[in-house]
Amino acid sequence: MAVYTHVDPADLAALVARYDIGSVLSCKGIAEGVENSNFLLETTAGRFILTLYEKRVSAGDLPFFVDLLDHLANSGSPVPAMIRDRSGVAVQQISGRSACIIQFLSGISLTHPNAAQCEAAGAALGAMHRSLAGYDGARDNSMGHRHWRGVADATGNLDAVRPGLQAIVDAELAFVEAHWPADLPAHVIHADLFPDNVLMLGDRVTGLIDFYFAATDFRAYDLVITHAAWTFSADGSTCDPALAGALMRGYAREITLTEAERAALPTLARGAALRFLLTRAHDWVHTPADALVTRKDPSPFLARLLRYRAADAASLFAAA
Amino acid sequence: MAVYTHVDPADLAALVARYDIGSVLSCKGIAEGVENSNFLLETTAGRFILTLYEKRVSAGDLPFFVDLLDHLANSGSPVPAMIRDRSGVAVQQISGRSACIIQFLSGISLTHPNAAQCEAAGAALGAMHRSLAGYDGARDNSMGHRHWRGVADATGNLDAVRPGLQAIVDAELAFVEAHWPADLPAHVIHADLFPDNVLMLGDRVTGLIDFYFAATDFRAYDLVITHAAWTFSADGSTCDPALAGALMRGYAREITLTEAERAALPTLARGAALRFLLTRAHDWVHTPADALVTRKDPSPFLARLLRYRAADAASLFAAA
């Protein structure tokens, strides 16, 4: 949850006046998005999301996100388009922050997705990948596998987070460096498609949101991130085969993985679990106890990592 | 800001199904209300606020608030009605909390109200008082003047909040106990009509919200709370005579204060400043540094108290 920056109503009215979206009727800070301040903005023309970009999203990256969402919206993915003002400008300034007014999408983020919903999420991810395969934008993945050792080092002694964690992470970093695939189909991926970032109505996906980790990487890595995010018990110890099979079946409706991708899935999934384990451990150690952001427990991603390391891990990726 | 309690989408759908308000399209936690968890709920029939009542609002008080808002809405005050389900029930249970679905009102809370907006707020308060004079509900004011010494005692040494504060508060408590009026026109009042709790579009009041401090007390005490909340600089040191005059003029359009009320305004205003000084000091001392609630600095209400104590304080209540 996050609303960090106050927006003065007069400044808001001036911002909205740059657009063809009517005048302000309501603007309420919403508890959505970890990195930014988000507001649900209602005008005489409809509803929008106003996002103010806080420190973790670089202003220099915003044109990339605007272009990416334009591309996806134009190709039919249910992503929120960035609205442009009458001069064609999408990235504005308000309250000392870069800001965008973004299309509002209906739908609710699920807490406990069922198999039909996992299948729909898999299909939406696959359809987005079909569109992204033809997208010529690119962005270095600052959360990609080459950066994980640096995140671990910056966290300090991982045994302070959980006894024994340092040795597990050291072994996994060595494994990743030795076994990460050299070459698989790659393009811009979402890289953070947790249930929070998918809006649904019933079993239908109505929105894919929060692209601020989007970067160039293997599409199969995006798939295993989604697998790790959607198909496990809350404590990360158990992968539900019905949910996992449904997710893979939905994805397979849109994308046929190569043999090399299939073979790499357990390795990529260990990497995905390691990535969220490390960034959560880092934030756990470095987030002040009085911060507005709720720190996320890293343990459930250690549990996923151990599950993906098991001898039968490949079976978790069968399309049921 | 406040979203404390997570609502499971399946539980939400079941709750909404009790009402004639269509089906859920969206539900976003909003950063509004200090005491409760609030969500902006969109259904196929429109927009609503879903409020879950956290510890500070007693479930036993909810029927009073429902009845109060019914009375005010029926008499034309722009307050949000509590929606009733098909069985006529307004207070429900979800996620282990009492909860209500409430009418959504357009409008924005002002940061820097101008004179026209202060006048409109004063008139809206006065019109609400006209309606409340005929309302037969009652509720003990647990934040009323008889309780302030208890709040001070529970805070501990006030000099720890600010050096010298203990002596000032002791003197003010003695003053209040000696000079508080015995009998003035009284009925249920809002008791917390800060700009956050007034929705406006331009210079028009579109909503009076957050009645959870409403209780029986002098109507003139409600007026001075609003005076303290609307007409001072952010640091509380200066009352803007143009804003104060406009607020009083707006109120006078609806309510003619008695001579006794007029004479009591500076005393009541010292009490209002003391009330918010004390509750903020209490929360400052007792709110854990890692709480989600932002602690409010008590100092601006000490500054108001000093201003209301000055020899010329009566001039701050002239209708300009």
Q: Domain locations in chain B?
A: 9-103, 115-317
The answer to whether B209 and B175 are in contact (CB under 8 A) is no
Establish if B201 touches chain A: CB-CB under 8 angstroms: yes
Per-range mean pLDDT, top range of A25-39, A142-156, B52-66, B279-293:
A142-156
The model's pLDDT over A54-75, given as tens digits with 9 standing for 90+, comes to 877 888 899 999 999 999 999 9
Give the mean pLDDT of A7-17: 95
- Whole-angstrom Cα distance, residue B152 to residue B170? 9
Position B117 scores a pLDDT of 98
Give the mean pLDDT of B205-223: 97
| pLDDT cut 90: percent of chain B above it | 88
Query: Has the ipTM of the complex gone over 0.85?
Result: no
Mean of the per-residue pLDDT values of chain A: 94
The model's pLDDT over A104-163, given as tens digits with 9 standing for 90+, comes to 999 999 999 999 999 999 999 999 999 999 999 999 999 999 999 999 999 999 999 999
- Picking from A44, A108, A199 by the largest number of B CB atoms within 10 A of its own CB, the best residue to mutate is A108
The model's pLDDT over A242-292, given as tens digits with 9 standing for 90+, comes to 999 999 999 999 999 999 999 999 999 999 999 999 999 998 888 766 555
- Would you call B108 and A24 a contact, using CB atoms and an 8 Å cutoff? yes
Give the mean pLDDT of A16-38: 90
Give the mean pLDDT of B144-166: 95
The model's pLDDT over B220-257, given as tens digits with 9 standing for 90+, comes to 999 999 999 999 999 999 999 999 999 999 999 999 99
Nearest Cβ partner of A40 from B25, B40, B290?
B40
SS3 content of chain B, % helix, strand, coil (to 5): 45, 15, 40
- Picking from B26, B36, B196 by the largest number of A CB atoms within 10 A of its own CB, the best residue to mutate is B26
The answer on pLDDT for A32 being more than 80 is: no
- Span A9-103: which CATH code? 3.30.200.20
pTM (two decimals): 0.88
The answer to whether A217 and A192 are in contact (CB under 8 A) is no
CA dist B279 → A191, B152, B192, B241, B274 (Å)? 46, 8, 12, 27, 9
The CATH fold of domain A115-317: Aminoglycoside 3'-phosphotransferase; Chain: A, domain 2 (3.90.1200)
Position A315 scores a pLDDT of 95
Nearest Cβ partner of A9 from B24, B42, B108?
B108
Confidence of residue A1 (pLDDT cuts 50, 70, 90): very low
- Whole-angstrom Cα distance, residue B175 to residue B270? 9
Position A320 scores a pLDDT of 75
The model's pLDDT over A180-233, given as tens digits with 9 standing for 90+, comes to 999 999 999 999 999 999 999 999 999 999 999 999 999 999 999 999 999 999
CA dist A197 → A32, A107, A200, B119 (Å)? 10, 11, 10, 44
The model's pLDDT over B66-124, given as tens digits with 9 standing for 90+, comes to 999 999 999 999 999 999 999 999 999 999 999 999 999 999 999 999 999 999 999 99
Establish if B12 touches chain A: CB-CB under 8 angstroms: yes
SS3 A198: strand
- Whole-angstrom Cα distance, residue A221 to residue A199? 21
* Radius of gyration of the CA atoms of chain A, in A: 20
Of B39, B24, B30, whose CA–CA distance to A199 is shortest?
Answer: B24
Apex B287 CA angle, B211 and A37, nearest 5: 70
The answer to whether B243 and B118 are in contact (CB under 8 A) is yes
Q: How far is CA A90 from the centre of its chain?
A: 21
- Whole-angstrom Cα distance, residue B133 to residue B186? 8
Nearest Cβ partner of A40 from B10, B28, B109?
B28
Please tell me what DSSP assigns to residue A236. S
CA dihedral of residues B191, B197, B200, B206 (deg, nearest 10): -70
- Would you call A30 and B30 a contact, using CB atoms and an 8 Å cutoff? yes
Q: How far is CA A187 from the centre of its chain?
A: 15
The answer to whether A42 and B26 are in contact (CB under 8 A) is no
**10 Å Cβ neighbour count for A164?**
10
Residue type, B204: R
- Picking from B106, B108, B196 by the largest number of A CB atoms within 10 A of its own CB, the best residue to mutate is B108
Mean of the per-residue pLDDT values of chain B: 94
On the CB side of B62, CA atoms within 13 Å amount to 23
Give the mean pLDDT of B285-314: 85
Establish if B40 touches chain A: CB-CB under 8 angstroms: yes
Position B1 scores a pLDDT of 41
Of A203, A223, A228, whose CA–CA distance to A119 is shortest?
Answer: A203
The answer on pLDDT for A83 being more than 50 is: yes
The answer to whether A271 and A184 are in contact (CB under 8 A) is no
Give the mean pLDDT of A6-10: 91
Of B308, B309, B291, whose CA–CA distance to B2 is shortest?
Answer: B291
